[in-house]
Structure 1
Amino acid sequence: MTQGLLLVGASGLAREVLAAGITGVTGILDDDVTLHDTEVAGVPVVGPLALAPRRAEQLLVCVGPSATRRAIVRRFAKFGVDDERYARFVARSARIGASSDLAPGSILLDSVVVTADARLGRHVVAMPNCTVTHDDVLEDFVTLAAGVALGGGVRVCEAAYIGMNAAVRQGLTVGAEATIGMGAVVVSNVPNHQTWAGVPARELGESA
């Protein structure tokens, strides 16, 4: 049985998690040596990421960019860190419907609402005030910035990023590693790896 919790990354996201009331945190890991032996919101930065496989605590990867979060998890996996080592964090003001699932490593911050029969994968991050409605699927390493709203039956594929206050119409797919700009209104499927913005959202560089 693991004891306590280590946050991975002395980041803004780590401070958000701490501010949202997470408990049991024993330290923070970060590869920036200038941060070692300092504190973030009163929590000590105890050393580099390489310590994680050798320590007993659970882990929560608090790194904002989806691809970087994925790279850290893959790095740890090479040293035997599996899903059982990862915690979940749901802020007290967030709400998850009884029929929805949240996989290990995922973070839901203040006032996030997940309704019915949604599936949130590993290491998903939902920033404050996001709405994830019925039958949505968020694959591993998805990031939702603050205020994102997803209609029912939306699929957001692995490591996609949806910017602040963007909205996605029901039944659509946002492709793997796609980026949606802040305030965008997505009314058609977004292919893998593309960046879309605007109202209605279009691929950047595409003429109106």
Structure 2
Amino acid sequence: MVDRRNRVPAREPTGAKRPILLVGSNGMAPEVLDAVRAAGSHEPAGFLDDDADRHGTWLDGVPVIGGLDAVTLHPDAELVLCAARGGARASLAARLTTAGIPDARYAVVRHPSVDVPRGCTPGPGTVLLAHVALAGDVQIGRHVMVMPNATLHHGAVLEDFVTLAAGVSLGARVHVGRWAYLGMNASVRERVRVGADAVLGMGAAAVRDVPARETWAGVPAEVLRTWVEPW
């Protein structure tokens, strides 16, 4: 379940822009940067990326200033993780936690076209890109990535590190487990559960529960692959 304790509400602009570091200069980095600029509450201080070949380069006018260890050089900056897959964001978050970065350092990035209703508090590090529609009491965990034009109906639950690609539609009271990835234009029938680390393919329609660590595709969606524990 989504833990609502110690939540970090989305903060509104208060005049001076707050610095923000974008972690990862590939994946969803251009889209997240666009949302940061559109929201207007933060000033991009740079990208952090462990790929040394990217250091000193620029992405859309913002420099790649170093690896994750450079976070210590910007103690006042907030952060957001730009990796497209939940597992990659979880790995980055774990490393930053080890480095002493608390949840309070993570910004909620919300494009101004997104209306967050009363009772819905996105968790730290969550990104809501353009024209995401939230209805009613939607629960959103930590470091969730919701891409443009996704629709979440009332009572939907997104656990930590979930990724919803563009155009995903969730019916009422859908529950999406930790690290799950829902591909572009996938849809989930009301009250269906998508298990942890599951994948729902592009354009798929889930009309029954998707077990954890399975990949489903098609209309209606059926299992394609089951993840097996390696020896």
Aligned residue pair count: 205
State the TM-score, normalizing by the size of structure 2: 0.85
Moved more, 14-23 or 134-143: 14-23
Q: Deviations over 1:78-114 (max 9, x none)?
A: 1211100100100011222122120110000000011
Q: Which runs of 5+ in 2 are unaligned?
A: 1-17, 227-231
Match of 1:47 in 2: 66
Aligned-partner Cα distance in 2 for 1:153–1:34: 44
Q: Which has the higher contact order (CA 8 A, sep 6+)?
A: 2
Once the two structures are superposed, the pairs formed by residues 1-208 of structure 1 within 5 Å of their partners are 3-20=18-35, 21-22=38-39, 23-56=42-75, 57-204=77-224
Q: Which residue identity lines up with residue 56 of structure 2 in the other structure? A: D
Q: Which residue identity lines up with residue 84 of structure 1 in the other structure? A: A
Measure how far apart 1:116 and its partner are: 0.5
Contact 2:215-2:225 within 8 A present in 1 as well:
no
Q: Which runs of 5+ in 1 are unaligned?
A: none
Moved more, 92-101 or 61-70: 92-101
Contact 1:124-1:143 within 8 A present in 2 as well:
yes
Q: Which residue identity lines up with residue 72 of structure 1 in the other structure? A: L
Percent identity (aligned): 45
Aligned-partner Cα distance in 2 for 1:53–1:148: 37
State the TM-score, normalizing by the size of structure 1: 0.95
Aligned-partner Cα distance in 1 for 2:137–2:72: 34
SS state at 1:96 partner: coil
CA RMSD of aligned residues (A): 1.5
